[in-house]
Structure 1
């Protein structure tokens, strides 16, 4: 099992939305992907509640094998949501892919 963890810091958000509304919508949009992208076994999106930290959102996905990360990343639903909900507003991103050990 592979865990795919991505942290996002946002420098802005869509006009007409508060940052909190934006983060909640982004969370919902990405959690829907578990039902749409077959190699993605589970996804959890967490909104940071600590105002002293720079990252706003953490995405934690679980996939069967490392090659599935690429399938997930290139899936049209993932690409579409990243283009709409992340790229226009993100100021910083960090990612780790690693084996999920118990």
Structure 2
């Protein structure tokens, strides 16, 4: 199994209300990839961080293998979500991939 964890910080220009809507869209988009992208074992997006957090949301996903993760990164369904719901709104992305 391979874990793929991402922390994002949204751009400062968005209001709290806009950020809530953006986070919900990212959550729905990414979690909706399960069953569409081969090799995803589990995929969850946490949008309810505590005030002590210095990131706005987190992707916590598990893949069958390194190859499955590579396939996910270029899969058209994933690219469409990333290009429409994630990249336009985020300013910082930190990623950690590891074998579990």
Q: Same fold (TM over 0.5)?
A: yes
CA deviation string 1:1-51 (max 9, x = no partner)? 111101111115789x62112111210111000121011111011014223
Unaligned runs of 5+ in 2: none
User: RMSD value over aligned CA atoms?
Assistant: 1.9
1:7 corresponds in structure 2 to: 7
1:76 corresponds in structure 2 to: 76
CA deviation string 1:48-91 (max 9, x = no partner)? 42233221111111111112111000000100110011111111
TM-score (norm 1): 0.87
Unaligned runs of 5+ in 1: none
DSSP 3-state at the match of 1:42: strand
Contact 2:34 2:40 in 1 (8 A): yes
Task: Decide whether aligned partners of structure 1 residues 74 and 13 sit closer, same or farther in structure 2, where only a CA change above 3 A counts.
Answer: farther
TM-score (norm 2): 0.88
